Amino acid sequence: MAIASAPGKIVLIGAYAVLKKPNISYVAAVDKRVFALAEKILEKRFVLEAPPLDVKEWGVWNDGTLELDADEDEKKKLRFLRAAVEACLKYFEWKQIEFRGIRVETWNDPAFGAGDRKTGMGSSAAAVVATIAAVFLEHGLDMEENKDAIHKLAQYANFIAQEKIGSGIDVAGACYGSIAYSRYSDEIMGHSFQEMMGNEWDQRSEPLQMPKGMRLAMAYTGKSANTRDLVKKVDAFEKKKEQAFLLLMEALNAENDKAMLWLKKMGDLSRKSAQKYGEVAAFFDGRGSAPEVAMYEEEMTAFREFKHAFAKGRQLTKQLGVESKAGIESDEASALIEESEERGAFVCTMPGAGGGDSLAALCLSEESKKKLMAFWSQNGLHLLDITFSGKGMQEETMDTWEKRVGETGE
């Protein structure tokens, strides 16, 4: 028996720009995780369990396909889990790794939500990554040594289950943790399975951690956005008005690049000179005076430029939603974001694909985070107890598994 987990994520910068290579984006891993347990069984069949979705089905491996004995509704619920196991079995056949039957069970942290009330933190991608990692571990394959293979398989499985839509950033974040990410070329998924797995990929991912002391505040609005529908509308806009789309993407990616450059600078400064960084953070948080920090030009510039580029990127993303009729950020949402930045948020946005399912903010102190959360609560939002983690997939113990299952109501 083997257990692995993968983190949820928040795409804070570049969720739409990253759809086009070589544009870059930033995904932050959070402390809420999806857990997967894999266990060999003597029978040559495969049992897939997802208790949060109230589904358990079994299937057989038949000529490169995992055939489930389930109705269409159950198959739809299990499509990510099925695709993950199917990808593993294809890989094992290719590498001539012996396998028989296996039981796989997944558990989500309740913060991910379920069904039509998902909070947009990438539970499906995390489940795919955790499942493949657990199946690898159960078959004696070291997770760290096979991290790139797990990542490729997870991208492949997610691509299939998500109807060939998306950039893969949520999968990359679940594998590697908080990173700056540029997607792989579309052509990669057009190759045969063996070529896809055997070739070098042209994606780019670099670790990028949050500055020390940066707090995450997040809330769920009560409705769930459909990422696939939003992306389809943006794709349709590109096909209809390609030149306008390309110009908008160029401007958006330029602001995203700046925001990540200054975010990295802030992180470096927070580790290099904690005292100066802290004083400047206090100033931008409304707790310090200009004369006290005027001499800290480098730190002041980093904070100011990050905030400006982040806001400009959000505005251009809203413009993309208007021109594509995707509804990425409504006027009502914009007003709430602007009010949030007056009530504790250093910057605020609708993370990921937007659409209105959640709000995420970066706060410079615990006091400002509490002030912001109180404001959100007064406005009927559901507060989420989430913090930055930075960690990607990892092996887990049975004690951790039993603790998590207990927390989710078993």
pLDDT tens digits for 166-179?
789 999 999 999 99
Quote the mean pLDDT of the chain: 91
What pLDDT is stored for residue 406 in this prediction?
67
| Tens of pLDDT, residues 394-409 | 999 999 888 877 665 5
| Tens of pLDDT, residues 73-111 | 888 889 999 999 999 999 999 999 999 899 999 998 887
Per-residue pLDDT band at 121 (split at 50, 70, 90) = confident
Distance CA 142, CA 36 (A): 16
**How many Cα atoms within 13 Å fall on the side-chain side of residue 255?**
22
**What integer is the mean pLDDT of 177-202?**
94
3-state secondary structure the chain: CEEEEEEEEEEEECCCHHHCCCCCEEEEEEEEEEEEEEEEECCCCEEEEEHHHCEEEEEEEECCEEEECCCHHHHHHCHHHHHHHHHHHHHHHHHCCCCCEEEEEEEECHHHCCHHHCCCCCHHHHHHHHHHHHHHHHCCCCCCCCHHHHHHHHHHHHHHHCCCCCCCHHHHHHHHCCEEEECCCHHHHHCCHHHHHHCCCCCEEEECCCCCCCEEEEEECCCCCCHHHHHHHHHHHHHHCHHHHHHHHHHHHHHHHHHHHHHHHHHHHHHHCHHHHHHHHHHHCCCCCHHHHCCCHHHHHHHHHHHHHHHHHHHHHHHHHHHHCCCCCCHHHHHHHHHHCCCCCCEEECCCCCCCCEEEEEECCHHHHHHHHHHHHHCCCEEECCCECCCCCEEECHHHHHHHHHHCCC
Per-residue pLDDT band at 410 (split at 50, 70, 90) = very low
The answer to whether residues 197 and 51 touch, using CB atoms and an 8 Å cutoff, is: no
Residue 141: how many CB atoms within 10 A of its CB? 19
Q: Tokens for 73?
A: 């509704």
| Tens of pLDDT, residues 307-351 | 999 999 999 999 999 999 999 999 999 999 999 999 999 999 999
**How many Cα atoms within 13 Å fall on the side-chain side of residue 21?**
15
Residue 249 contacts by C-beta under 8 Å, 6 or more apart in sequence? Answer: 16, 17, 20, 23
User: Which of 189, 250, 217, 259 shows the shortest CA–CA distance to 371?
Assistant: 217
The answer to whether residues 52 and 404 touch, using CB atoms and an 8 Å cutoff, is: no
Distance CA 218, CA 363 (A): 11
Query: Does residue 280 surpass a pLDDT of 50?
Result: yes
Phi and psi, residue 381, nearest 5°: -80, 155
Cis peptide before 207 (omega within 30 of 0): no
| Tens of pLDDT, residues 140-158 | 999 999 999 999 999 999 9
CA angle, 188 then 231 then 234, to 5°: 105
Q: What is the dihedral of CA 129, 134, 137, 139, to 10 degrees?
A: -110
The answer to whether residues 328 and 182 touch, using CB atoms and an 8 Å cutoff, is: no
Per-residue pLDDT band at 138 (split at 50, 70, 90) = very high
Distance CA 243, CA 186 (A): 20
Distance CA 56, CA 47 (A): 7
What pLDDT is stored for residue 304 in this prediction?
95
Residue 242 contacts by C-beta under 8 Å, 6 or more apart in sequence? Answer: none
Query: Does residue 236 surpass a pLDDT of 70?
Result: yes
Q: Which domains does the chain have, with CATH numbers?
A: 2-209+390-407 (3.30.230.10), 215-384 (3.30.70.890)
| Tens of pLDDT, residues 47-64 | 898 887 788 888 888 888
Cα separation values, 218 from 120, 340, 358, 388, Å: 11, 11, 7, 11
Residue 139 contacts by C-beta under 8 Å, 6 or more apart in sequence? Answer: 40, 92, 97, 99
> Using CA of residue 192, residue 198, residue 201, residue 206, what is the dihedral sign?
positive
Please name the amino acid found at residue 9. Answer: K
Residue 287: how many CB atoms within 10 A of its CB? 13
What pLDDT is stored for residue 222 in this prediction?
79
Phi and psi, residue 89, nearest 5°: -65, -40
pTM of the predicted structure, to 2 decimals: 0.90
What pLDDT is stored for residue 116 in this prediction?
54
Angle between helices 123-138 and 79-95 (to 10 degrees): 30
